[in-house]
Amino acid sequence: MTKITAVSPSATNPDVATGVAQFLTPIVIDMTALVVNGKQAHWNVRGANFIGVHELLDVVVANAQAWADLAAERVIALGLPIDARLGTVARETTAVPLSAGFQQSETTISEIVAHMDAALVNIHTAIDELDEIDQGSQDIAIEIEAGLTKDRWLLVAHISA
């Protein structure tokens, strides 16, 4: 049996783990909320550009799920748990609530983009703060920011003149 001897310093430093969790956990919460709200929007969108928005929301949901998983697994790899239970997500997300029922695509897009914008505030904070704490974790926040900004742009393109 081979013994693993090399360990990343951040994996053994509880201060680093705590710092990373402080900035990645809000991203996990907001991305998990985007999964739920994005699917809700996907089911209830209406309008002339229905199919494009309907299908794009599935992409947004899949990406948000992957980003939540990426950020959560980083925190867990550093030795701390993640709490992204639905009650915790509902209580702690920065997401703007979605309107109930069927919505025209312009309203749906505006509400999902507002959710993304709120999440981007936490992501930008994480990018700034993780630079001094753990650059590997900062890279994760940068990756999420780039992808979320792209998804935001694709949605906004449906309602821009």
> Which range marks the domain in which residue 78 is found?
15-156
User: Residue 8's pLDDT is what?
Assistant: 52
152 belongs to a structural domain? yes
Contact 151, 59 (CB under 8 A): yes
32 belongs to a structural domain? yes
| Number of independent structural domains in the chain | 1
Please state, in angstroms and as integers, the Cα–Cα distance from residue 28 to each residue in 18, 54, 100, 159, 160, following that order.
15, 24, 24, 28, 29
Q: Which residues of the chain have pLDDT under 50?
A: 4-7
41 belongs to a structural domain? yes
- In one-letter notation, the amino acid at residue 114 is A
Measured in degrees and rounded to the nearest 5, phi and psi for residue 160 equal -80, 145
User: Residue 96's pLDDT is what?
Assistant: 86
User: Residue 159's pLDDT is what?
Assistant: 87
CATH code of 91's domain:
1.20.1260.10
73 belongs to a structural domain? yes
Cα 57 to Cα 34: distance, rounded to the nearest angstrom: 10
- pTM, entire model: 0.91
1 belongs to a structural domain? no
DSSP 8-state class, residue 94 = -
